[in-house]
Structure formats: C-alpha cells, structure tokens
Structure 1
Amino acid sequence: MRNRARAVVIGGGVGGASILYWLARLGWTDAVLVERARVTSGSTFHSAGLVGQLRGSLSLTRMMMNSVDLYRSLRDEAGLETGWHEVGSLRLASSPERMEELARQAGWAKTFGLPLELISAEEAQRLFPPMSTDGVLGAAYLPTDGYIDPSQLTFALVEGARRRGAEICEDTRVTSIEVVDGGVRRVITDKGAIETELVVNAGGMFAPEIGRLAGVVVPIIPMAHEYLITKPSGLRLDMPTMRDPSLLVYFRPESGGLVMGGYERDPAPWGLDGIPADFNGRLLTEDWDRFDPLMQNAIERVPSLKDAEVVRLVNGPEAFTPDGEFILGPSEVRGFWVAAGFCAHGLAGAGGMGRLVAEWIVNGRPEIDAWEMDSRRFGRHYMSRDYTLARTVEVYSTYYDVKYPGHERSAGRPLRTSPAYPRLRELGAAFGEKSGWERVNWFEPNAARGDESMRPRGWAGRLWSPAIEAEHRGCRESAGLFDFTSFAKIEVRGSGAASFLEGLCDNQVARGVGRLTYTQML
C-alpha cells in the first residue's frame, strides 16, 4: 500500500469505484481506494440494478444519462463484462394524476433528447407480456433505460482505474483520519498510514461512521430494502424493466424469470445503534410479513407471480438520506469530501456520479449544477438522529408518491419555531419548513378574500391557496408584517458596502436610512 496519495477514496462499492475510475481517467492516477472487506461487499452486491435516466431535475437526469453513456462503453475499455442490458423501461399510470405526471415527464424528456414515448396499456403489455392491463390508463416507455449487474460493473470500474495506475486496497479498515488546522492530513488504516490532503467518503451505509472520524456529520439512515427473484419460467430476456408507482412495485427480467421489489409504506430502518463491524457481504433475514403487501400489489399487476416459484427474497440495507437525494461534495473539513446516500438508485447514477465528483475535485467545479446534491445543504439540525430518522423514513415510504409543486414534508415537525409561532398558528397559518424552521406560507383565513381565478392551471395549482393572491395584494396596496426569525441575517459594513451590494443584488439597495429593499442576489 502506498504511503502517500493525491486522493484516498474510502469505500469499495460502486460509488467509490466510479470515483476512483474517473479520478484516474482525469489524470489523478496517484489515487488509492481502501475497502474494509472486499469490493462490492457493502450494499452494492445486493442491488436490484435498475437504471432509469429521467429524474425530476436537469442535473440528476444528466448524471443518469452520463452513467448510461459509460455503461455502453466500459466493457470494451476494461475488458470485463458489466452486465449492461439496454432493454428499456416502462412506467405505468393507473390514475389521471399519474397520466398527467407521465405527460409532464414526456415533455421534460424532450429537453434532454431522451426518446421517451407515451404508449397505451396494450402497447405496454406487448413489451411486457406477463402484465395485466387492469386499471392501467397508459405508460411511458424509454428504450435507452435498462439494468446492470452491480458486481460486474464495480469490478469493471476498478479494473479501469487499476489500468491507469490507481491502487485498490481490500481488507483494509480505516481506523482514524488525521485533521490538522481544519484540513485532512492522513488516513490511518489497520495496514498503515497514507499521507493525503484529499479524502472521499464513499462508505455507503458506513459513511456516517467514517464521517465521524473527521468530525463531519453525514445524515444517512440504512433502510432494509427487499426484492424477490423467481425461478426461470420462459419469460423473454429482452423485456423492459417496469415500474408501477401506484402499486409501489418494480420489475425487471432475470434469466427467464423476474426480479420484483418495491417501497412499502411501513419501512424498516436498520443499524440505528451501529452497524456490526463484521457486516460485510451479508444480508438481513427475510421479512415476508413486511414484504407481503408489496407481493399482493405485484400479483395484481403480474398475476402469474401468484404461482411463481420464488428462488430467494433478498433483504439488504440501503443508505437513504433525509431528502432522497445523493450527498456529494466537500464538507466543512478542508479536503474531506462525501459521496454517499444513493437512496437505492446508486447503480443508475454511479457512472455519472463518479464523473461529477471527480470533475469537481480535479477542475474545482462540476460540469453540471450539483446544488441539490451538495453535502453542505443540510443544516446543523440534521445532527439530531431522531430528526434525520423521521425524515428518512418519510422519504422511503413516499418514494413513489406524486410530488406536486409546493410539496412540504411533515415528518419531524415542528422542530424549530419562532416566539411568534403560537400566535401565527392561532391566526390560521399554513406553515412550510425551511432548514428546520416553521415558516408561514400563507394564512388560510385570507383565502376567502383571494381571487380563485389566479390559481395556476393544472399541476402547479394543486397545492396553492387564493390566500396567496390576497396577501400579495395586501402587501402591495397597504402593508404586511413578516416573521423573519427563520431568515439568515448578514451584515455588510464599510465604506464600500453599498456599491458591493449594488453589484451583488439585482435591485437597488442603497435607498437611504429607514428604507427596505426586497431583492435577489445574483
């Protein structure tokens, strides 16, 4: 093992392997990956392997598309199979709301050049013959999606990195991380120390434990996720993957049989009192009682599952975050980066995620906007495990729910309230949450004075109140009183303060004593 490296990646799952691969590909060949056991022995080896590209934002979708681009070429480059099957994907709609969601996704896909098609239930059945069309109004079909073998992909990424000069150290456990003057200096393992000024915590469900070694909080909760594998029954190998979000289940072909899993309403957090030190390459005990509601839903969509022979029910922990997004980027400790919390879609994003993080490290900024995944987005309130747990359970249990504009999560609230909170509640406040603070969105009693015709059409108007229009008009025409307790306060002093702010803000700031300006910062 080297005693000096430009970067040390901790964690030999698909995420860590991808970051190592891309660092080496971008010229940082003096990089080391350390893995506590064997490569893929954390959560990677038991992933279901579905790869879907279309997500709810430009950045996430681009990251997934970059993954697919890599998966298409990696086998030839690394000389190893990756298990990539570009069979396409189906997403079913069983309600008008779901059909509207698919229509919006189709428009969204066009902006990325993704060839997503809206098709009928009968067309979906021709692509996925064992499905029942009962209750299905339509489907979205994306032919460039697919599934991949998690272990084969990881081995290929590791080989690609090794061929470029990177080093992989298995059975090497990190015992401490030396931080001096606010920055990383050394990684100490049970096999020796590595001098470095850059560490990437790609520890998956172990990421919080690794973060604590450097004094960094990583808000992740492992969730027990289950899927079953059926005995081969002659099903087509080229069937697309299929998701039925209304029934909370997903499917993919597997050697003439099926893989079926889902996201239950009563999830099971795991490892809250610490993950056993020897939990490597292991699964959790099958939990058929928890899985049975998903099984019944799946039979409703694929009736032949009722008589299928189940080879295995896989139950393994997956790292989830409080908002359902990746945790990527630098931390408050200089040189300590985080790449964890993949929320059960790590295989879909791994190739693009590794590229994003490596570009960020090597070039100083990522190619795509990573703010929604930035590790620094979580405030100090996420140091509370109970709050993190409540939020993460909610994220998992609502994984397939339709999220309308203005959606507010409810778990763990209220956490932080201002002195005016009781009075605001008495006045009929409809609260939202920002950084753990309860903040008034509007006062519902004002809805009677609002103009209903101002409600945004369709999707954007689902979680809207006429009170918004009434309160906006009231502030413009008379006056309004705001509780600014939850807002950050920044004081800019000095003779150049006004000119500095004029250049930073898009509205005129220097208006004289006693004047207030509402503005955005550019």
Structure 2
Amino acid sequence: MSNLPSKARVVIIGGGVIGCSVAYHLTKKGWNDVVLLERKQLTSGTTWHAAGLIAQLRATKNMTKLAKYSQELYGTLEEETGVATGFKRVGSITVALTEERREEIYRQAAMARSFGVEVEEISNERVQELYPHINLDGIKGAVYLPLDGQGDPGNIAHALAKGARQRGALVRERIKVTEIVKDGRTVTGVNWASDDGSETGHIACDMVVNCAGMWGHEVGKMAGVNVPLQACEHFYIVTENIQGMTQLPVLRVPDEYAYYKEDAGKILLGAFEPESKPWAMEGIPDSFEFDQLQEDFDHFEPILEKAVERVPLLAEAGIHTFFNGPESFTPDDAYHLGLAPEMDNVWVAAGFNSIGIQSAGGAGMALADWMDSGEKPFDLGDVDISRMQPFQGNKQYLIERSKETLGLLYADHFPYRQKATARGVRRTPFHQHLLDQGAVMGELAGWERANWFANEGQDPAYEYTWKRQNWFENSAAEHRAIRENVGMYDMSSFGKIRVEGPDAQAFMNYIGGGDYAVDAGKIVYTQFLNRTGGIEADVTVTRLSETAYLVVTPAATRLADQTWMMRQKGNFNVVITDVTAGEGVLAVMGPNARKLLQAVSPATFTNDVNPFGTAQNIEIGMGLARAHRVTYVGELGWELYVSSDMAGHVFETLHEAGQDMGLKLCGMHMMDSARMEKGFRHFGHDITCEDHVVDAGLGFAVKVDKGSDFIGREAVIARKETGPQNRLVQFRLTDPEPMLYHNEPVLRDGEIVGYLSSGNYGHTLGGAMGLGYVPCAGEKAADVLASSYEIDVMGTRVKAEASLKPMYDPKSERVKV
C-alpha cells in the first residue's frame, strides 16, 4: 500500500538531486507537509550518471553565490544525515590554447575576485605541478580555483532526501503523477498511479513544484505552463584503474571540448562537443530508469583523439566504460527556477544544463526562500522561468536550438556572441527593410534585431574577439550620426502592455512609483518596486486616455513584467493586454530629428506643442503614427509607434526623406553605447529586484507624496532618510584602448569594492564606460567621488574617472532643445 496522504501543502514532482534539494530546504523552513513523488527510483533520470563536478564560479554574482552555497552544504550533509556525499575540494584548472581563450579565462579570474572566489592565474610550470600527466603543448594560459570540488551525485541526492525525511517530508518512489488538476490559474491537486498500475489516487495541494528534469517540459504541459528544455546525448569515458594515480584537480580544456576528473584511481573524460545530438524528440520512453543510450564512438572519437595527446597516459589506460546518457538543456543554457507565469501556484526547478549537482543546493535554497516568503530572496533574473517566451516551448525550436546549446558551455564566451540555431522566429515589421540596408541581426527573446549595419562590400556577419570587433567602427559611425545629425533604429521588440479600465489610474498608482494622475499624452518614466524598494521593472508609461495607459518594457522582460502586474491586480477593475506585435516602433534621434519629422508630417514638433515627455497622434506620409518624445540615447528625438500594417510605408517615407540629410540607420549596439555615456540604467544589469531605487540614483522617479500608497513606498521613504547604502557610479577609463563589458572588478583606493554591472565603449567621450555600485553607507556623494578608482581589466588595473552625474550632457539640455 502506498499510504499517500489525501492532502499536502506542496507536491514535488521528480526525485533527482533538484527535487530532493527543494524538499530538503522547504523542510528546513519548517514545512512538514511536503510530498515528493518519483516515477521510478530517486536519481534514476540524469542525476545518477552526472560527473559530479562542483565549481564555485558562475557567470554572475548571484549564480556564484548559489554555487558556493551548494559546496558548503555538501560539506556538512554527511554529518547531518550519515550519508556519505563524497564531497572533497580538489581544485580545478582551466587551460587556454588560444590568445582569445586566455583573455576569457583571465577576465573570468578577475570577475571571480570581485565575487569573493579564491582564484589565481598560474604558469605552465604550476599547471604541470598540479597535474603531472598533462602535455603542455599549446597552452597559453591557465587559471586555478583551489576550492572547487567534486562529489558523488547519487549520494548527494540521497543525503538531501534523508534530510528532508528527517524533518517530516514524505518521499515516495514508483509513484507517477498522471494528471495535474487545475481550476483557472490555480492547481488544486495531482492524480497519481503506482508504477505497476495497482493503485491510483489524488492529493489535494496548495502548490506543485516541477522538478522533473528532462521530463520537465511534459510535466509543464500537464500543469499548463511552458518549461522549454530538450534532452541531449552526453558522453564520457571512464578508464580502467591507473597504477599510482593520486588525487588530481579537475582539468578543463574547453578549446578541446573536454574535461578530466580523477576518481578512485581512474580518469573520467567528458565532452561538450560543438554540435550535440538531441535525444527523444518523440518523447522519453515510459520505461526509462537508470538507462544508458546507444554508444556513438564516431561522435566521441575527435574528442578522444585530442585527449590522448593532451593527457598521454590515456593511451595506455584501458577504457572501462564508454557512457552515453541524456541531460536536459534550455534555449539559453540557464536553468529554470521560480513561479511559472501561466499559473499562480506552480513552481519550476528544472533544465540544469549539466550543472545540476553544483547548482542543486543553491537552487533548492533560493526556491524554498521564494516559496516561503512570496518574494525572491535576491535577483534571480538569470534563471527566472518568466524569461522564457511562449514560443520557446515549440518542439521544433527546442530540437534545433539544443544542437548548439550543449556545445556553448565550452565554446568561447565572446562578448555579443549570438546564437546560430533556431533563428528568425520573431521579426519586426521592418525586418526585410533593415536587411536590405545591410543590417546584421542579433536575437533577444526570439526577436531578430538589427545590432549594427555593414558598409557596402563588408561581410554582414560578426567576427568575434575580446578586443574591438569588426563592427566597432560601424557602431561608432552610427553613434556619431545620433550625436551630430540624425539616426533611425528599430525598437519594435520592446514590450508594449496596455492597461485599460475604470480603475486604470488607481491601479498604476498602486503598482508604480511614479505619479500617473496626468493628462492624456503625458509620458511618465518610472519603476515598479517590491516591498523592499528593489526594482521589479523599469518602464515608461504613456497615458493614452482617461482609462488607458501604455507600459513600455524591455523586450526580454515583457512577460515577466506583465505577469508581475497581473499578480498585483487584486480587485482593481482593469484589463492588462500584451500589444507588442500590434505596433512597429522607429526611433528617430539626433539634433536634426525634428527637421526630418517636419519633412514628412504636417504635425508640429516644437517644445510648445510637443515638449519632452509627451506623445501626440500625427500623420506621417500617407499613414498615421503616435509620436512619443522620449530618448534612451540622450538626444533630441521621438519614438514613432505605427500600426503594423502601415509600418513599411512609414519606414520608406522616413528613409527616403532622410537621404538628403544624411540619415543613418543604427543598431542596438549604438543604442547601448549611447545610453552608457548618458548613464541611463539597463534593467537586468544595472538595476534588479535587489537594487534599491534610491541607491540606483532613480529616487527622482518615485513620488512618495503623490497622495496614494504604492508598493515599496515605506522602503523608499526609509532609504531617503538614511541615505544610499550603495551608489551607482559611472566610470570612464582614462586609457582609450581597453574594452569593458560587465563584471570587471571596481577598485576604490586600491581595494576591490564591487564590479561593473554593465559596460560599453563611449565613442563621444573617447573611452570604455561602465556602471557599477560602490558601497557608501554613511557617506556623502562628495566622499564617494573623492576616492581614486581603477577597473581590473583581465588582471590589469586601469585608472578610471568616476561620476554620479551623467558624463554626457549632465543637465539633459540636448534632449529638450
């Protein structure tokens, strides 16, 4: 008899290391009505065959925080539960075989220091000392992280499960969830069946957590939520015992797609080959349990050939195991965590891209905190499931993208690198017009966006490097056009959310920090805040009528922002609708923007009629548009909203009229470099849910005295009284040569105090620019600026100027001319 309860606070679906971690951490929070259901046996999906590498350093501070937490947890689990986890700190070495990879790993080392991770760049001689079996041929640089570790994946999962049981969780194997029962946006329970079909039942529950691993996509469908992931084949070999083999650090040779792990006198050689093999495109067999996939030695052979040269003793060691097992991969190589946008009580922790063991502890902790408090414990935007667009659950899309994503784990992580597969899904109304003019497209949230424009005769493609890329001068010319004349670029991909109804004004004043009791046609720049004053969204809001507003959000966060708005709706009588695809948007920016618009429209664009921060309906060519006088590049300009059916005509009208004026088509790279000079914040980098709006220098956009309460008001008032705890500072390198991207350490008077949240090149100001937070509790602005600053670029400290006001046009005189 299964003896399953009829009701639970939460049902966790999936008994891999992730599900066990979620159960463990929820019970640590005091939840004792926790049920975990596993269709076969614990760890029988992908956990059991994981390599067990447990690295500390990830691509962002918070992901690194979670990885470090996992390490610390695994080091104490054995004492708590009596289950040996096999965790030990063996260190790890990453070697570079090209100058480009050397720059990448040295930049990663600098980033690690800013995150508090112990790291050192080491010589080839030191590599040989640490890993005597390596052939040093071709190695141009190496980085050593002494505290990286490895562990036994299966036992880690079982230890977490035992810890959960000890605190009251019910963990049951051979119970499959057959249906998730829903009522509107709420799950009410799950139906289950025993593995042999002899028993069935129902568990009513308050929440469900999808920890189903490579089954996560299908379980998501049962719950009515989108969980985009695809299983791929993942290969490794294990040697016979090697005489005299001692403990070694993990060795990574990403330029040869390989990693090496010593374990019990053997070597495990694993691969992240550049073109992977999707698996189970028609669905995972129902009988799958601790299964291995068919060997494909031809696919693995190129990696093995290089490995035998890199670690020659492999040529002498016999192969004990050639293993092929499935792992699940997401469209962007980041895992899925959080509350699903489509439902109000379905949570997700799945799609861990071969880093499930090192991520599980931290991911389980973060999700449990979120579920328990109802608020994210810190910024989880990198992995928040709401970043996934609905179309990304498309089966064919997932198959095509997965061929690339596994290999991207060990590919060169060049700045601005674009995905090559599954492209062209979302196109703006101007897509072909832009291609015809030499646009080189990037992709964001599925949208094809012109990032830069190739010159006649120039190959319209990226040539990646850590230095100035082949489009650097193209973007500089676009930048100059915006600053000195007039440029035009496509902003159609930005999210457009219409809020309409009799309570529209009251609703907006509740969810947003700005004052929305304005006349129709007025534009309000503002933030949506959480209870602690952190920034949930950075938006412009245009009042269209007495009962309607248009909220414009970044392209990547439209779904997240709309979902957040829906969850605050309560009893407000409003309708919230995504209208992004209904309008194309062209930004016309620069000192001659007014002149160009006056050439194609009978409307008046003077300050008297159309001042900064207002919108008006206009005729343009033979069509209609709505002209919003705002800017993200710090120049006079308008964003023109045009219904999609007339977008082509409006583009042609503007482009033709602009030829005599030197109008230049521009891309997203230009927009980013221009906003960086102006000190404009970028959501997801410079401002997140854990960055206080006052610390971010955006307190001016929050109106605490507008006459109505709003989310985060008390936190804003409190921080304005105490003063900022951190300040977002703008930096410019005094040496014009180095490039900045993000995460470079910031040194104040010789000590690391933070890192750059974003970076780009300031073509007008003549140097690389960055934004980064500097701790300043109890300090005045003048104290912050009195210090000397440097930015660590690949291990070299470069002097930087610092400013709290925009270095470009600090009084915004150019935008209001």
Change (3 A) 1:297 1:368: farther
Deviation at 1:20, TM superposition (A): 0.5
CA offsets, 1:135-191, max 9 Å, x none?
112311111111110111011000111111111011100000001021110011014
Deviation at 1:426, TM superposition (A): 1.5
> Is contact 1:54–1:109 with CA below 8 Å preserved after alignment?
yes
- SS of residue matched to 2:132: coil
In structure 2, the residue matched to 1:262 is: 271
Aligned-partner residue type, residue 57 of structure 1: T
- SS of residue matched to 2:74: helix
> Is contact 2:523–2:615 with CA below 8 Å preserved after alignment?
no
Q: Which protein is richer in strand relative to its size?
A: 2
> Is contact 1:406–1:463 with CA below 8 Å preserved after alignment?
no
> Is contact 1:446–1:471 with CA below 8 Å preserved after alignment?
no
**Is 1:285 matched with 2:288?**
no
> Is contact 1:179–1:214 with CA below 8 Å preserved after alignment?
yes
Change (3 A) 1:304 1:147: same
Change (3 A) 1:383 1:154: closer
**Is 1:310 matched with 2:413?**
no
Change (3 A) 1:169 1:403: same
Change (3 A) 1:423 1:308: same
In 2, the alpha carbon distance for the partners of 1:402 and 1:264 equals 13
In structure 2, the residue matched to 1:471 is: 478
In the comparison of the two structures, how many residue pairs are matched? 513
In structure 1, the residue matched to 2:453 is: 443
In 1, the alpha carbon distance for the partners of 2:346 and 2:246 equals 43
Change (3 A) 1:235 1:353: farther
In 2, the alpha carbon distance for the partners of 1:93 and 1:365 equals 41
Q: Give 1 or 2 for the bigger CA radius of gyration.
A: 2
In 1, the alpha carbon distance for the partners of 2:467 and 2:352 equals 28
> Is contact 1:226–1:315 with CA below 8 Å preserved after alignment?
yes
In structure 2, the residue matched to 1:454 is: none
Aligned-partner residue type, residue 8 of structure 1: V
Among residues 265, 276, 280, which one is paired with 1:271 in the alignment? 280
- SS of residue matched to 2:18: helix
> Is contact 1:405–1:463 with CA below 8 Å preserved after alignment?
no
In structure 2, the residue matched to 1:516 is: 629
In 2, the alpha carbon distance for the partners of 1:308 and 1:263 equals 22
Among residues 76, 89, 93, which one is paired with 2:92 in the alignment? 89
Aligned-partner residue type, residue 489 of structure 2: F
Among residues 114, 117, 122, which one is paired with 1:119 in the alignment? 122
Among residues 22, 32, 35, which one is paired with 1:32 in the alignment? 35
In structure 2, the residue matched to 1:452 is: none
Aligned-partner residue type, residue 389 of structure 2: G
> Is contact 2:217–2:229 with CA below 8 Å preserved after alignment?
yes
Change (3 A) 1:235 1:257: farther
Change (3 A) 1:292 1:105: same
Range moving further from structure 2, 396-405 or 343-352: 396-405
**Is 1:420 matched with 2:430?**
yes
In 2, the alpha carbon distance for the partners of 1:14 and 1:370 equals 20
**Is 1:399 matched with 2:409?**
yes
> Is contact 2:273–2:407 with CA below 8 Å preserved after alignment?
yes
> Is contact 1:430–1:442 with CA below 8 Å preserved after alignment?
yes
Change (3 A) 1:369 1:164: same
- SS of residue matched to 1:5: strand
- SS of residue matched to 2:39: coil
In structure 2, the residue matched to 1:409 is: 419
In 2, the alpha carbon distance for the partners of 1:487 and 1:335 equals 28
- SS of residue matched to 1:461: coil
In 2, the alpha carbon distance for the partners of 1:261 and 1:60 equals 23
- SS of residue matched to 1:228: strand
Change (3 A) 1:463 1:318: farther
C-alpha RMSD of matched pairs (Å): 2.1
In structure 1, the residue matched to 2:166 is: 163
TM-score, L = length of structure 2:
0.61
In structure 1, the residue matched to 2:196 is: none
Range moving further from structure 2, 359-368 or 208-217: 359-368
In structure 1, the residue matched to 2:211 is: 202
Deviation at 1:502, TM superposition (A): 4.3
Query: Identity over aligned residues, as a percent?
Result: 37
Deviation at 1:265, TM superposition (A): 2.6
Deviation at 1:239, TM superposition (A): 0.8
In 1, the alpha carbon distance for the partners of 2:480 and 2:428 equals 25
In structure 1, the residue matched to 2:549 is: none
Q: Which protein is richer in helix relative to its size?
A: 1
Higher relative contact order (CA 8 A, sep 6+): 1
Change (3 A) 1:183 1:306: same
**Is 1:486 matched with 2:493?**
yes
Range moving further from structure 2, 379-388 or 480-489: 480-489
Change (3 A) 1:173 1:239: same
Range moving further from structure 2, 171-180 or 424-433: 424-433
